[in-house]
Amino acid sequence: MEQRTGGEPAPEDRQPTEEPQRPLPEKVRRKVVALTDDALGGMTVSELPASLRQYARFTPSRRARFGGNAMAAALESDAVFRGRIADHQREEFPALAEALNAGAPPAAADPVDVAALAYLLRPPGWGELVEAAGGEAERAEAERIGEEAAREAARLREELTQAQSAARDETARVKADLEAVRKENDALHRKLRSALSDVKRGEAAVRKAHAESEELRGQLAHHRTAADGEARRLRARAEEAEAALEAGRRAVREGRSVEDMRVRLLLDTVLDAAQGLRRELALPPTSQHPADLVEAVEPGRMTPGDIAQRALTEQDPALLDQLLALPQVHLLIDGYNVTKTGYPSLPLEKQRLRLLGGLSMLAAQSGAEVTCVFDGAELAVPVLLAPPRGVRVLFSKSGQTADELIRRLVRAEPKGRPVVVVSTDREVADGVAAAGARPVPSSLLLKRLGRT
């Protein structure tokens, strides 16, 4: 084909415009792009439009996928490029191209191939050929879709028939199940009424059992309280036994005996008492005769009634001074019993400090052994306390009361040593009195400290 400069065809090669009345069908368009892609493989880069040169090195499959729209646009806008593609197709399909130029496409040819080649060759009446081929392709597609729809409708009718049959069977089964459920429901109603009666009887039995359990729980709590008290007493005794055993072992390790220590302390007490009695009576050693020991009233001496009138009361602080004047006396104080009697509004720490300050002066004045016992259960944290001079400060261990610790201290003393216990607690007073100690009320100590 002869061409002019600038890529325009010669005037004699131009065909009258016979554009189809509607866009190319999609199948025809894809066929046109595929034919164009086949032709591009034999063309040089200079023969390609500028818009297609970037796809020249692509593989045919990638070129058709990525450059299809550009090929279609180039065919539509560039007549020279379209002519080159048409020449290539004439060489590929000479018989079909000849038939199209003659205006008589073969009846057996694929309508899509006829329309695509007619679009590229542009023979006379090519627009009608494209529309006819496109319509034929659409009719074929419509027939194919209709056949598929008919097959799908037949399949759906068959499935509907099967579903209806299954529904009838399911309905019959459901009716049978419903009748069985009704019968079972009636039986369940009867069982429910019977069960409700049983539940009511069971509730009455539960209420009765609950009342009995509450009563038993109360009795159990009472027995548990008594058992806890007994366990505490037994634990205290066991701890005393353990402490005594440990003290014995320690004395054995140190080569000394606890009994020797107790006897020595008792001997010192007796000797001091004898010496004090000798000084107090001021009797010559040789002036004592057995006849002088016979009780009688001599002229000018005091009678027992006179002596009774000079006795001190339990609330007289002088009584505590007389007790502290005894040889080797040991003064035991129930600490919180005294502080809560004398100054209960103060915090526990200040109560302890006030009491220990008074006891320190009392110990210095009397020279007696002074031990102050506090209840360890009152402690939230360990007490950082420096005991004052002459006063031993003890706290009861966990699970032990100050009363138990005081009784243990009294029992630890040898019989015959004077021990004075200060406590208003009647149980403590009775217990230490039975062990040989002299109980005095807390108010007596408070009066004596107030006089210091």
Tokens of 18: 């016979």
Hey, is 346 helix, strand or coil?
coil
Tokens of 65: 């996928």
**pLDDT score recorded for residue 1:** 37
Q: What is the mean pLDDT of the chain?
A: 78
> What's the CA gap between 211 and 192, in Å, rounded?
28
Q: Is residue 399 predicted with pLDDT exceeding 50?
A: yes
Name 365's Cβ contacts closer than 8 Å, sequence gap at least 6.
452
Tokens of 173: 């089964």
**pLDDT score recorded for residue 130:** 75
Residue 24 neighbours by CB distance under 10 Å: 20
Scanning the structure block, which residue is given the tokens 């009718």? Answer: 157
User: Stretch 375-388: mean pLDDT, rounded?
Assistant: 70
Q: Is residue 421 predicted with pLDDT exceeding 90?
A: yes
User: Stretch 323-351: mean pLDDT, rounded?
Assistant: 92
Q: Please tell me the least confidently modeled range out of 19-28, 360-369, 372-381, 435-444.
A: 19-28
The pLDDT confidence band at residue 441, using thresholds 50, 70 and 90, is very high
The 10 Å CB-count burial string (b at 16+, else e) for 265-280 is bbeebeeeeeeeeeee
> What's the CA gap between 121 and 401, in Å, rounded?
122
Residue 315 neighbours by CB distance under 10 Å: 11
Share of the chain above pLDDT 90, in %: 19
164 or 131, which is more confident: 164
First-to-last C-alpha distance (Å) of the chain: 146
> What's the CA gap between 285 and 20, in Å, rounded?
165
Share of the chain above pLDDT 70, in %: 79
Tokens of 12: 């004699």
- Cβ atoms of 435 and 323 closer than 8 Å: no
Tokens of 323: 């007790």
Query: Amino acid letter at 397?
Result: K
Tokens of 64: 């058709």
Q: Is residue 7 predicted with pLDDT exceeding 50?
A: no
> What's the CA gap between 445 and 422, in Å, rounded?
7
290 or 241, which is more confident: 241
pTM for the predicted model, two decimal places:
0.38
Q: Is residue 439 predicted with pLDDT exceeding 90?
A: yes
Q: On the CB side of 102, how many CA atoms lie within 13 Å of its CA?
A: 9
Q: Indicate the DSSP class of residue 9.
A: B
Hey, is 19 helix, strand or coil?
coil
Hey, is 363 helix, strand or coil?
helix
Q: What is the dihedral of CA 213, 215, 217, 219, to 10 degrees?
A: -140
Please report which helix (H) or strand (E) contains residue 330, including its range.
strand 330-334
The pLDDT confidence band at residue 14, using thresholds 50, 70 and 90, is very low
